[in-house]
């Protein structure tokens, strides 16, 4: 009886320690949805993402619009965008692009982190 109680206490203590020692992805920040995807800045980032994608993959995508977006805080320069784009055969498809906004740090444009699905 006594040993099982002790074991339980040890387990509970370990669980608390584990929870304290692993702050959930604090280094990576938190993703916040952007309420106003119509924001020209956000739309511009979507266009930039499609342009960057076309440079590295021969997709011939045409940017249509950003339909969803979230931004990482703190920082506010890393975005995940749901981008509606036109393919060569004129059909629309939603792609997800992760980008780093480089327009605020003096430069212009964006750095493409990931883009999918494959076009
Ligand atoms: C356009 O091409 C994609 C990929 O090849 C295909 O999945 C889609 O069905 C095509 N759409 C039309 C309208 O032809």
Say how many CA atoms lie within 13 Å of 71 toward its Cβ. 14
Instruction: Please name the residue that has the structure tokens 């993703």.
Output: 31
Q: For the residues 103-109, what does the mean pLDDT come to? A: 73
Task: Give the rounded distance of the alpha carbon of 34 from its chain centre.
Answer: 12
Pairwise CA distance, residues 15 & 32, whole Å: 28
Q: Is the CB of 89 under 6 A from ligand 1?
A: yes
Tell which one of 57, 60, 61, 91 to mutate to probe ligand 1, the residue whose CB is within 8 A of the most ligand atoms: 91
User: Which residue segments constitute the domains of the chain, with CATH numbers given?
Assistant: 29-116 (3.10.450.10)
> Vertex 81, ends 37 and 61: CA angle to 5°?
105
Where do runs of H (alpha helix) occur along the chain?
2-21, 40-56
Name the band, by pLDDT with cuts 50, 70 and 90, for residue 9.
Answer: low
Q: In the chain, what is the straight-line distance between the N-terminal and C-terminal CA atoms, in Å?
A: 62
Kindly report, residue by residue over 17-74, the tens digit of the pLDDT: 555 554 444 456 899 999 999 999 999 999 999 999 999 998 899 999 999 999 998 8
Q: What is the pLDDT of residue 25?
A: 43
Q: Find out whether 110 and 83 touch, Cβ atoms under 8 Å.
A: no
Distance 91 CA to ligand 1 centre (A): 6
What the block records as the tokens of 60 is: 């011939």
């Amino acid at each position: 009886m006594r040993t099982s109680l002790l074991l339980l206490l040890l387990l509970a203590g370990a669980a608390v320690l584990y929870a304290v020692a692993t702050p959930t992805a604090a280094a990576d920040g938190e993703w916040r949805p952007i309420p106003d995807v119509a924001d020209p800045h956000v739309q511009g980032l979507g266009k930039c993402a499609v342009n960057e994608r076309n440079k590295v993959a021969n997709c011939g995508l045409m940017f249509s619009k950003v339909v969803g977006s979230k931004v990482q805080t703190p920082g506010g320069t890393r975005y995940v965008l749901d981008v509606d784009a036109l393919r060569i055969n004129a059909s629309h498809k939603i792609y997800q692009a992760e980008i780093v906004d480089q327009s605020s740090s003096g430069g212009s444009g964006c750095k493409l982190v990931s883009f999918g699905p494959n076009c």
